Amino acid sequence: MYRVMLIDDEPSVRKLLSVTLDWKSMDMEIVGEASSGIEAINIIDDLRPDIAIVDISMPFMNGIEFTEVATKRYPELKIIILTAFDDFEYARKCVSLPVFDYMLKPVVRTEVTETLKKLKAVLDERVKEEPEEDPVYDDTDSSIEQIKRYIETNYTDSKINLTSVAQTFGFSTSYLSRKFKQETGKNFVEYLTECRMEKAMELAKAHVKMFCASGDVGIPDPNYFGRCFKKYTGMSYSDYSSSNR
């Protein structure tokens, strides 16, 4: 099945797309959602979608900015941009971006379905013509331990991700993802998040404001940072900070 990611700051739009379309009949499945471009960038390495349906207007990182970043990492990723009428001409002017199609909000189920069927035909042809084969690597010089140390040193960089680290050490992203999980028991994103949250806990104990702490650990979206912190510690950032007075 083709993997689909929904990226929109309106929960109602994500819900509409999720429940009204017959994804299974199109050989597709929704593997994740995000409410901002920043959140999407932070989890895209783990989800590895084939298709991203992206709202053009979002806080912190809009759909155009997300497309620029995501398609540099994943040139094969297919993007469908959702845009309100007022932003439509702006979106169409971004012709240099590798966007499969633009669709107006509010979304119409039949139109989305038709677009996705066309996209499926393109993906089917790509799979038929280009069966992926993983290369074999000699990782003697670039061990997973070195990569762990690299993450521990550079986790404050919001741009660090599986793809950038794979390129730095000369691996493919799929190979590094598999190898990292085999040798550490954690996937890349889990380890990166762990490094960031351990530092965030120190900052919370020092009573650093959450919006400052989020940037300090490489997650510039405070809302996404807050969700990560609560998931990791079981407490909100403010509660954790207060409990350590």
Query: Cα dist. 210→27, 74, 91, 197, 213 in Å?
Result: 41, 31, 33, 12, 5
Give residue-wise pLDDT tens across range 107-162: 899 999 999 999 999 988 877 775 755 555 555 446 888 999 999 999 999 889 88
Sequential DSSP letters for 100-156: EEEEESSP-HHHHHHHHHHHHHHHHHHHHH----PPP---SSS-HHHHHHHHHHHTT
Q: Quote the mean pLDDT of the chain.
A: 87
For domain 144-243, is the CATH number 1.10.10.60? yes
Distance CA 154, CA 165 (A): 10
Topology adopted by domain 2-129: Rossmann fold (3.40.50)
Q: Compute CA 146 distance to the chain's CA centroid, rounded to the nearest angstrom.
A: 24
Residue 166: what residue type? Answer: A
Give residue-wise pLDDT tens across range 160-213: 988 889 888 888 787 888 888 888 988 899 999 999 999 999 999 999 999 999
Task: Spell out the domain ranges in the chain.
Answer: 2-129, 144-243
